[in-house]
Amino acid sequence: MIGIVDYGMGNLFSVSKALERLGAVSFISDDPKQLSKSSGIILPGVGSFKDAMGLLNEQKLTGFLQEYANRGGWLLGICLGMQLLFESSEENGNTKGLSLLPGDVIRFHGTDSEGASYKVPHMGWNQLAFRGESSILAGLKEDYVYFVHSYYVRTKDAEVVKASAKYDVDVPAVVGKGNVFGMQFHPEKSGDMGMSLLKNYLKLVEGRVWA
């Protein structure tokens, strides 16, 4: 059973409906005791990194998620939820994240190396470029997914990046290390590709493949 973390800043309904279409049983909760019974957890998110971490701390979910992941529980962060997996964000001042993956979250510059401006937030469909092999990408071909974000991850470990997308810079789009994964885009809004990625996560949770 998949637990979806409800801390007040996630697209809970769209994620749960996507899992339902894949035949997965899920529940939405803000209770660490209930979430601890999950075979895998999804941390969605939209909005401000600072506000999200404030709510996670307030609801005593920060320590729970860190402990859950550190003991081997499967964890998937989506959009802002992916950014929260990293060490810090510069959004609205420097804010400490869950520190489950190495790296920091920074804002798109809005101006490229030649001085031309580009649109922020990054919004729309971009093609993934795979970076080596990963079980979360097993059996898939590079395809388009849907992004909405103004900040991106600058990782300290290139091996964490499983797929990227080009938007002035190479944006980490799918990340993972061990039992912790993240998707910067919205898989539940990304058509067949997004559903296939969620299906691969479910396979990991169900123990049918290894990370």
Domain edges within the chain: 2-205
Neighbours of 157 (CB within 10 A): 11
The H or E element that residue 211 is part of is none
Task: Give the three-state DSSP class for 10.
Answer: coil
User: pTM above the 0.85 mark?
Assistant: yes
Peptide bond into 32 cis (omega under 30): no
Q: Are 44 and 15 in contact (CB under 8 A)?
A: yes
What's the chain's Rg over C-alpha atoms?
Answer: 16
Q: Are 98 and 168 in contact (CB under 8 A)?
A: no
Tokens, residue 166: 């080009």
The CATH number for 2-205, chosen from 3.90.550.10, 3.40.50.410, 3.40.50.880, 3.50.50.60, is 3.40.50.880
63-99 pLDDT, tens per residue?
999 999 999 999 999 999 999 999 999 999 999 999 9
Q: pLDDT band at residue 10, thresholds of 50, 70 and 90?
A: confident
Q: Which residues are catalytic?
A: 79, 186, 188
In the chain, pLDDT over 90 holds for what percent of residues?
90
Q: pLDDT band at residue 208, thresholds of 50, 70 and 90?
A: low
Rounded to whole angstroms, how far apart are CA atoms 173 and 63? 25
158-189 pLDDT, tens per residue?
999 999 999 999 999 999 999 999 999 999 99
